[in-house]
Copies of this chain bind each other. A is one copy, B any other.
Amino acid sequence: MVAAARKRVQDTVNNYGFMQLNKSFVSADDVAKRAGVSRSAVSRTFTPGASVSEETRQRVMEAAQALGYHVNQLARGLMRSESGIVCLVVSEMDTPYRARLVRALTHELQTAGKIAMLINTDRSDGSVDTALRQTLHYRADASILLSGLPDKAITRLCLNSGQRIVLINRDDDIEGPFRINLDDGQAARVAVSAFLRAGCRHLAFANSDVGTPSLMARERGFIAAAAEFGLEVRVVRHGNTVYESGRKIAQTLFTEAVQPDAVFCVNDLMAFGLMDGARYDFGLNIPEDLCIVGFDDIEQSSWTSYNLTTFSQPVDEIVKSSVAWLQSDATAGRVRPANLHAPLIWRKTIRNKL
């Protein structure tokens, strides 16, 4: 129906003599006709590595230019079984870290000649599995998951459809997808030793209760590292990894009998909440009374009001290695996960010496 309507418009327009300029879409056929060659010729002109003589190539390009032709990626995708589409499935994408990742990913994908489709898994219903199935509808070449963890069945379905999957910070022992993780254990160790050097003795860990693998890895790592020095860790888990949760955790921690003098927050947002809670609800000074370290190094961490010492997500590396893997030859089956290092960015929330 729509197509019919469009067709009609086009014809009318043509009758009025405005020709190609106003035609809905110019096809390879049109270009071929104008250039006086076969349609294959124009198709080959736009296919890197195909056999076309320089002369016809010129002719085709000229005609294409004049008509404003560009290949229809939908049709090309249909033939090639390679749509050039990469799906980014992500929830709560306005979270600073996620937003930065999405920005960097889309950019990198574009420079690699791919295009990003954004799938929002905010609504609770179908969540990730539905989203992943959706990626199949559009024959996406690959999916990159920033949040959620897919069911094994659906993962296999995607892989069998020739799709590649990248999991960022979602470690799990699913095989097939490329997994990118941070060395959370190492970061935790660095945090502990930084706290100790600052003279802290009462360590706490502020986590969310969603229990994402990488968050749990940080928690375990921190507890283990502290144990090596004979220290116990007060762990508080609450809500999501957002400001409010940090605030809430401050309420819990600073109304207890023995209060921490150092807190590792599982991400920066929670650290900000915790800092504001400590400062404004309990009058604590940071870093004199309380040392804090966060994770992600989002932009706000460098704002003077917070000046948060935090671990930096190597966004560039994450993005580069993801896209590189997408373009590499499919070594189907088990894929070696990437393990990236998150360096500590020193600012002002851990004191230098006691």
Chain B residues with Cβ under 8 A from A99's Cβ?
Answer: 93-96, 99, 102
Partner of A115, one of B79, B81, B100, B119: B119
Residue of B nearest to A88 (CB): B118
Q: How many identical subunits does the complex contain?
A: 2
Residue A51 interfacial (CB < 8 Å) = no
Tell me the minimal C-beta distance from A280 to chain B in angstroms.
5
Tell me the minimal C-beta distance from A264 to chain B in angstroms.
20
| Complex contact B138–A115 (CB within 8 A) | yes
Known interface pairs A103-B94, A107-B120, A276-B305. Does A70 touch B137 (Cβ–Cβ under 8 Å)? yes
| Complex contact B83–A93 (CB within 8 A) | no
Chain B residues with Cβ under 8 A from A83's Cβ?
Answer: 74
Residue A2 interfacial (CB < 8 Å) = yes
A116 CA to B88 CA in the complex, in Å? 10
Chain B residues with Cβ under 8 A from A229's Cβ?
Answer: none
Residue of B nearest to A116 (CB): B118
A102-118 vs B, CB cutoff 8 Å, 1 = contact: the mask equals 11001100110001111
A237-280 vs B, CB cutoff 8 Å, 1 = contact: the mask equals 00000010000000000000000000000000000110110011
Residue A36 interfacial (CB < 8 Å) = no
Known interface pairs A74-B77, A139-B72, A162-B24. Does A122 touch B134 (Cβ–Cβ under 8 Å)? no
Q: Which of A117-156 contact B (CB under 8 A)?
A: 117-120, 122-123, 133-134, 136-139
| Complex contact A74–B139 (CB within 8 A) | yes
| Complex contact B78–A161 (CB within 8 A) | no
Known interface pairs A74-B77, A79-B3. Does A118 touch B137 (Cβ–Cβ under 8 Å)? no
Residue A183 interfacial (CB < 8 Å) = no
Known interface pairs A106-B118, A106-B119, A304-B280. Does A137 touch B92 (Cβ–Cβ under 8 Å)? no
Q: Could you name 27 residue pairs across A and B whose Cβ atoms are closer than 8 Å?
A: A2-B80, A3-B81, A6-B81, A24-B161, A25-B136, A70-B137, A74-B83, A74-B138, A74-B139, A78-B78, A85-B117, A93-B103, A93-B106, A94-B99, A94-B100, A94-B299, A96-B99, A102-B102, A102-B118, A103-B120, A106-B118, A107-B123, A110-B120, A111-B123, A118-B118, A272-B305, A273-B303
**4 cross-chain pairs, A with B, having the tightest CB-CB distances, nearest first:** A94-B99, A99-B99, A106-B120, A276-B304
